[in-house]
Chains A and B, each alone.
Chain A
Amino acid sequence: MNPAITLATARRILTQLRHDHRTVALMAFVPTLVIILLYYVIDDQRSFGAWAPILLCVFPFLVMFLVTSIATLRERTSGTLERLMATPLGKLDLLLGYGIAFGLMACVQVAIALAVSLTWLGFDLAGPLWSLVLIALLNALLGTALGLLCSAFARSEFQAVQFMPVVMIPQLLLGGILVPRDQMATVLEWVSNVLPMSYAIEGMKVVVMNGELGGEFWRDVAIVAGSALLALVLGAATLRRRTP
């Protein structure tokens, strides 16, 4: 690993994004628009207060997962990955480059969504702002890492997109959004216990509802960060210098 190469990679990915105004606009504004829509659909300040944190959790993850899996798949199919694997670039340089670039995009995304929610929509945040940003960012990183990992198992962009519901929907259903996790069937609760999104949602609820950043909050943070790291390492293992 070489920090100069990692940063050059992050800069390259951001430059690619800069040439693609539509993608940037979609990444930056879609979450905010959905949150605004939700606000008017629910039309009740209290329930909105419960749903908004979930969206702030889900969006960075979802968008980063999709963008990363497609972007890395493109690197694999266009031959640029093979070219990079013949250079001094380390596998982690590439993965962290994506993490940094899309992490920054996630910051922009969350910043806009938060600004609109806190001012216009009267969204109440019990905990400190940084704790919410921390959780959202870790979620974005987790999405990036899982996107990288899943793209290794996709041969085409069609397949890559299909991985989104596979990864996303079980985590949402079992994440304690629809039914509290301790009220699920035992087996489902076990599954829920090993899905990182469950902890991200829990952490986000703590930040928004009571704002007490105790041991439980930090445990959630550690689990989400650990899962992202694990997915990054597994993703690195799927990048091969030599291919058949």
Chain B
Amino acid sequence: MMNLPGPAIAVRDLRVSRGGVEVLHGIDFEVPRGQVTGLLGPSGCGKTTLMRAIVGVQIVTGGEVTVLGRPAGDPSLRRSVGYSTQSPAVYRDLTVVENLRYFAAVLNAPRSDVDRVIEEVGLTDVAGQLGGTLSGGQLNRASLAVALLGSPELVVLDEPTVGLDPVLRQELWLLFQGMADRGVTLIVSSHVMDEAARCQRLIVMREGEILADDTPHDLREHTRTTDLEEAFLRLIEERTAA
């Protein structure tokens, strides 16, 4: 599927309601292959819901989500899409290695992958520790490591760098970029604007709508600011003025 033409993700008029309230109001966008796309917006703007829809675990009310040329959630995608939720989804009563061994078995990934991903997220020192004894940031990275197992073509990461020290954050972004250079598509959400500059493409969301879908450079040009936080404010102003 690697060389298929077309975008990695195509979303058409996506509508999602949660608890009787519409949280995504007819969203359209495409995500190109082999790039890191940032999904930015304040907490509660619908980032997580959108990511769940892309992975195919969200019940949607309308619209279409196509992932790697197939409808989102298609059984054939379950091995090629890596997903890490915002709250760490790993077993607290298993060690890091045991967690990864289990998920590697489920994904039919080679056993050597376990050591590779532990190294990639920098958890080698605590690999034998139980999940429950890790710090929040370490637990988050253990959960992220699961999404890197096997050879996913698309990796969906919900706020993977929250609460990490700057050095680690830098390392993870280098890792993401390295994966994109190998042709993997990544979609990474964040509510921290300073992470935006590290993406090749940005989707800016607010209240269930897309404010902008651009490269960081064009976004700065368009809003005539050098700061992305500023750009975000400018976009909101434009919206309310229009």
The chain A residues found within 8 Å of chain B, CB to CB, are 4-5, 8-9, 11-12, 15-16, 19-20, 78-80, 82-89, 241-244
Contacts and interface: CB of A to CB of B under 8 A. Distances in A.
A244 B59 contact: yes
Interface residues of B, number: 31
A80 B91 CA distance: 7
Interface in B14-50: 18-19
A19 to B, nearest CB: 5
Interface stretch (B78-86, B162-170, B190-198, B219-227): B78-86
A84 B73 contact: no
Interface stretch (B5-13, B103-111, B176-184, B202-210): B103-111
Contacts, number: 77
A4 B105 contact: yes
12 contacts: A4-B105, A5-B106, A8-B102, A16-B94, A86-B57, A86-B83, A87-B78, A87-B107, A88-B75, A241-B73, A243-B58, A244-B18
B145 interface: no
- Tell me the interface secondary structure of chain A in the complex: helix
A5 B98 CA distance: 15
Contacts of B57: 82, 85-86, 241-243
Given A88-B75, A89-B106, A79 B85 contact: yes
B93 interface: yes
Contacts of A84: 106
Contacts of A19: 93-94, 130
Given A12-B94, A19-B130, A83-B83, A88 B107 contact: yes
Contacts of A241: 56-57, 73
Contacts of A80: 89-91
Contacts of A243: 57-59
- Tell me the interface secondary structure of chain B in the complex: loop
A108 B59 CA distance: 42
A86 B55 contact: yes
B117 interface: no
B93 A88 contact: no
A85 B73 CA distance: 10
B18 A88 contact: no
A240 to B, nearest CB: 8
A12 B87 contact: no
Contact of A88 (B91, B98, B108): B108
A94 to B, nearest CB: 10
A187 to B, nearest CB: 41
Contacts of B108: 4, 88
Contacts of A20: 93
Given A15-B98, A80-B91, A244-B58, 10 more contacts: A4-B108, A8-B102, A8-B105, A9-B102, A12-B102, A16-B91, A83-B85, A83-B89, A86-B56, A242-B59
B78 A88 contact: yes
Contacts of B75: 88
A12 B78 contact: no
Contacts of B102: 8-9, 11-12, 15
A73 B89 CA distance: 14
A15 B92 CA distance: 12
A8 B92 CA distance: 17
B57 to A, nearest CB: 6
Contacts of B228: none
Contacts of B58: 242-244
Contacts of B73: 241-242
B157 interface: no
Contacts of A8: 102, 105-106
Nearest to A8: B105
A89 B106 CA distance: 6
Contact of B87 (A15, A79, A86, A87): A79
A20 B130 CA distance: 11
Contacts of A11: 102
Contact of A82 (B85, B92, B130): B85
Contacts of B105: 4-5, 8
A86 B94 contact: no
Given A78-B92, A241-B56, A243-B58, A86 B146 contact: no
A85 B79 CA distance: 11
Nearest to B105: A8
Contacts of A83: 83, 85, 89, 103, 146
